[in-house]
Amino acid sequence: MSNITILGAGTWGVALSRSLCNGGHHVTVWSPVPGEAAELAAARAHKNLPGMTIPAAVAFTDDPAAVRGADAVVFAVPSPFVRSTTAAVRPCLSPDALVVDVAKGLEEKTFFTMTEIIADEAQKDGRHAGLRLVALSGPTHAEEVARDLPTAIVAASRDERAARTVQTLFSTPFLRVYTNNDPHGVELCGAFKNIVALAAGISDGLGYEDNTKAALITRGMAEISRLGRALGCDERTFAGLAGIGDLIVTCTSTHSRNHNAGYLIGQGIAADEAVRRVGMVVEGLNALPAAVALAEKNRVEMPIIAAVWRIVKEHADPRATVRELMCREYKNEIGG
């Protein structure tokens, strides 16, 4: 049995707490939201995970000291709060802690992925250069993991031993964990697929059908892999679970908050109101500014992501934006 602390009591953090507890581990979930830890401890249920019972053995706390002595610390907070959460737990975090990030996004000003944010913020005290960082990513809707539906995911790290440790800790008969030594590529996929899912949702909101969505998924992955190659990532990552696998599920599932927000935007709802109606964090909107800036910095053409920016941030007409995409200069599909 291992002691695992999960930072964040959203749907993914709570679904993982159940999976890890049922796998024989001692699990503590930390929440910074006033009253949330006590509420979950009493209710043994999460409002956005209907039908799931939180095991009695899962502990809840609002004390960041919960990371002290943990065999693994899991960051399951929304991407905008990863840096502040790292700062909050840093005084109690072991210098060589095994840190697993399941948040997906990019930091706007630095273009850092989530594990890069954790490394940067944790090392500000000069004591945490030895953190063992792993990105855990893939096509994993919390609603399905919470119901023990068969799921596959990727533990990515340059530290192969750390990735294998996470593989062992998180694997169950219902959750199959693969390893990958390209964490940057895995995390880029996790951030950018949410933006393409917004595009897929907008498409559905406009009344377009399967042909359009298939084009968005395949050409969206072409954009993501093009940027990944420019940044030195392993191209095989983009054909894997964290790449095309996560992109497919996020673009097509009714569980996808990014797709659902995009659908509302396609129907003419403003982005802020769409987020309010979805009722949960829409990570694609958080990642969008960094994605556009990173593409520009590296001179990588990403027309679908640029189109989402124009619709969301510049209030461009969605149908006119689709026509612009369709009428761009002719291209060779594989770049020849």
The answer to whether residues 30 and 61 touch, using CB atoms and an 8 Å cutoff, is yes
User: Residue 29 belongs to what H/E stretch?
Assistant: strand 26-30
Query: What pLDDT score does 336 carry?
Result: 57
Per residue in 213-251, pLDDT tens?
A: 999 999 999 999 999 999 999 999 999 999 999 999 999
Contact 202, 318 (CB under 8 A): yes
Q: What is the CATH number of domain 191-326?
A: 1.10.1040.10
From 170, 294, 178, select the one nearest 236 (Cα to Cα).
Answer: 178
CA atoms within 13 A on the CB side of 190: 31
**The residue to which tokens 């909101």 are assigned:** 205
Which residues lie across from 60 on neighbouring strands?
A: 29
Q: Are residues 300 and 307 in contact, defined by beta-carbon separation less than 8 angstroms?
A: no
> For residues 266 and 263, what is the distance between their CA atoms, to the nearest angstrom?
5
Q: In what order do the strands lie in the sheet with 175-180?
A: 59-61, 26-30, 3-7, 72-75, 98-101, 132-137, 151-156, 175-180
Which residues are 136's β-sheet partners? Answer: 155
Which residues have a catalytic role annotated?
193
Rounded distance between C-alpha atoms, residue 218 and residue 220, angstroms:
5
Q: What pLDDT sits at residue 200? A: 97
Q: Which residue has the tokens 């498409």?
A: 203
| AA letter at 43 | A
Confirm if 180 and 190 have CB atoms less than 8 A apart.
no
The pLDDT value recorded for residue 1 is: 77
Q: With CA atoms as reference, report the closest residue to 279 among 47, 52, 102.
A: 47
> 43: which 2 tokens?
């209710």
CA distances, 216 to each of 94, 201, 204, 211, 236 (Å): 43, 10, 11, 9, 20
Angle at 146 between CA 278 and CA 70, to 5 degrees: 105
List per-residue pLDDT tens for the chain, 336 residues long. Answer: 799 999 999 999 999 999 999 999 999 999 999 999 999 999 999 999 999 999 999 999 999 999 999 999 999 999 999 999 999 999 999 999 999 999 999 999 999 999 999 999 999 999 999 999 999 999 999 999 999 999 999 999 999 999 999 999 999 999 999 999 999 999 999 999 999 999 999 999 999 999 999 999 999 999 999 999 999 999 999 999 999 999 999 999 989 999 999 999 999 999 999 999 999 889 999 999 999 999 999 999 999 999 999 999 999 999 999 999 999 999 999 875
CA dihedral sign, ordered 327, 247, 283, 202: positive
Per-domain residue ranges of the chain? 3-181, 191-326
Class of domain 3-181: alpha beta
